[in-house]
Homo-oligomer: A and B are copies of this chain.
Amino acid sequence: MTETRTSFAALAEDVGAIFERAGLVASQARALGRVIAAGERDACKSHGIYRIEGCLKTIAAGKVAAGAEPEVTGEDGAVVRVSAHGGFSVAAFEMGVPRLEARARAHGVAALVINDCVHFSALWPEIEALTERDLAALAMCPSYASVAPAGGAAPLLGTNPMAFGWPRAEAPPYVFDFATSVAARGEIELHRKAGKALPDGWAIDADGAPTTDPEAALAGAMLPFGAHKGSAISTMIELLAGVMIGDLTSPEALEAVGTTALAPRHGELILAFDPARLAGGRGDPLARAEVLFEAIQGQGARLPSQRRFRARAAAERDGIALGEEDVAMLARFRRDGLAALEG
């Protein structure tokens, strides 16, 4: 099989062009292009070019405001508020970043609220946009009702991702980004396709009983990670990044879109901290953090995201590898736009 090598910039432009061709306004299309190219570059396949089709379907279904430009709707105290006006979240995030940075520098801690967005993106690209600016950051958002609270019997919470980042001068940042469910829905799908039983503790069936059958799990609910502790964190995310910011919770998001097959609509909360200010002259926080990272790695434990950073380094050196099918898919979507979805 022939393999094509491309650069991050070229892939980002290519994917952006696909979305423009499909009717998305340039600001949204290009931001989406960058974040999908970043996923592909980092071998984070679940957020790479594989996701293009789902985004196009969301556009075709009229579930995203394709012509919407993001807008700063509030900037007050330590809070910046950007509305995506029904468009994809990424352009709204990009618009908010410099303002969030300015507020975090001015106040020590600040919050970026994104409202009315169709959410497509892992959270780590957002976290990294802030660690690049020497800020620590914590991001969270609801998703779709698909996870039962600990002790519960039916889908209510989302897979509610939570991500955190800490800047490092001489290494890629400390970044974690994970779902608060034990497993992602995609992993259950993979078990179903492979005809494999699920590990214990992943899911319950439609009657609320524990199950290892992927079909029964998909008809039932996933479970939160870490039992009641993960369930509590997921509930906190519904409260802070749903209710508190005046946007949809996971059950509301599912009701609004009516299916989990399209990108969900809700908001997002991103907190940014200026470590230099928070430390108040009590030591150099970036240098002190390195002592902790060395101690973790020194006992054989790994820092999160290292696989992703290794893939990135390889892609930056050798280019991003695309198979023949990938290249054909990109060409088809670029040529035919939404019409390619029918084929």
Contacts and interface: CB of A to CB of B under 8 A. Distances in A.
Contacts of A96: none
B151 A301 contact: yes
Contacts of A226: 225-226, 229-230
A313 interface: no
A229 B182 CA distance: 10
Given A76-B108, A278-B79, A280-B74, A285 B246 contact: yes
A343 B60 CA distance: 79
Chain A interface extent, by class: 35 or more
A74 to B, nearest CB: 6
A1 interface: no
Given A166-B239, A225-B226, 4 more contacts: A113-B280, A151-B300, A229-B230, A249-B291
30 contacts: A77-B107, A77-B109, A78-B110, A79-B278, A107-B107, A111-B273, A113-B280, A115-B282, A136-B244, A138-B236, A152-B296, A153-B299, A156-B299, A176-B236, A226-B226, A228-B304, A233-B233, A238-B292, A240-B273, A243-B279, A243-B283, A243-B285, A244-B279, A244-B285, A246-B278, A246-B281, A246-B285, A249-B288, A249-B291, A271-B271
